[in-house]
Amino acid sequence: MSELTTVARPYAKAAFDFAIQANAVDHWLSMLVFAAEVSENETMTNYLSGGASVEQATDLFLKVCQDQLDSNGQNLIKVMAENQRLLVLPQVLSQFSELKAEYDKEINVDVTSAVALAAEQVTTLSAALEKRLARKVKLNCVVDANVVSGLVIKAGDMVIDGSVRGKLSRLATTMQS
């Protein structure tokens, strides 16, 4: 998986830089979403993995995408096809999305709780996290009874485990040492 990410990074960076320059980040995101879905289609994956020539792969891919890609998006597909990289389009999309979130100063935060959070709690938590992380926060709230009580918050590499289960686990580790 990390190899695919490494391969996808220059394409995503080039597409993002071009999108910023053209002031069309959202348009590029929608084009990449569509192209990634096409590349993940089982029939298309089998075709691209088979012995299709670069020209055949490019033609078929562009015919399937038709009006969903503008001329610049088509050029990206052509370059990726020449380098036999169309199958990494989902990773290009992922990298592009990360670059967009960084550019927009946004972060997705996963919040796991034992019970559903009230709207007021979500608002308060969101405001506190925006202040701490200095970014716009998009909360993804999940209910998991295994948490017992409290919250587990994951934002990128940061994890805040304020759950009773986490506290008990840390207590047990401390007592064993």
pLDDT at site 13: 92
For 108-152, write each residue's pLDDT tens digit. Answer: 889 998 888 899 999 999 999 989 888 888 888 999 888 878 888
In angstroms, rounded to a whole number, what is the distance separating the alpha carbons of residues 19 and 72? Answer: 10
In angstroms, rounded to a whole number, what is the distance separating the alpha carbons of residues 119 and 102? Answer: 27
Long-range contacts of 115-120 (CB under 8 A, 24+ apart): 115/143, 116/141, 116/143, 117/141
The closest of 88, 96, 93, 98 to 39, measured between CA atoms, is 88
For 17-35, write each residue's pLDDT tens digit. Answer: 999 998 888 999 999 999 8
Bridge partners of 141, per DSSP, are 111
pLDDT at site 81: 85
Q: Give, in degrees to the nearest 5, the angle at Cα 25 between 66 and 17.
A: 105
pLDDT at site 6: 83
Confidence class of residue 2 from pLDDT cuts 50, 70 and 90?
Answer: low
> Phi and psi (nearest 5°) for 172?
-65, -40
Domain at 2-102: CATH architecture: Orthogonal Bundle (1.10)
Confidence class of residue 160 from pLDDT cuts 50, 70 and 90?
Answer: confident
Say which residues have a Cβ less than 8 Å from residue 68's Cβ, sequence separation at least 6.
Answer: 31, 34, 35
For 85-109, write each residue's pLDDT tens digit. Answer: 888 889 999 999 989 888 888 888 8
In angstroms, rounded to a whole number, what is the distance separating the alpha carbons of residues 114 and 124? Answer: 18
For 40-96, write each residue's pLDDT tens digit. Answer: 888 888 877 777 777 888 888 888 888 888 888 888 888 888 888 888 889 999 999
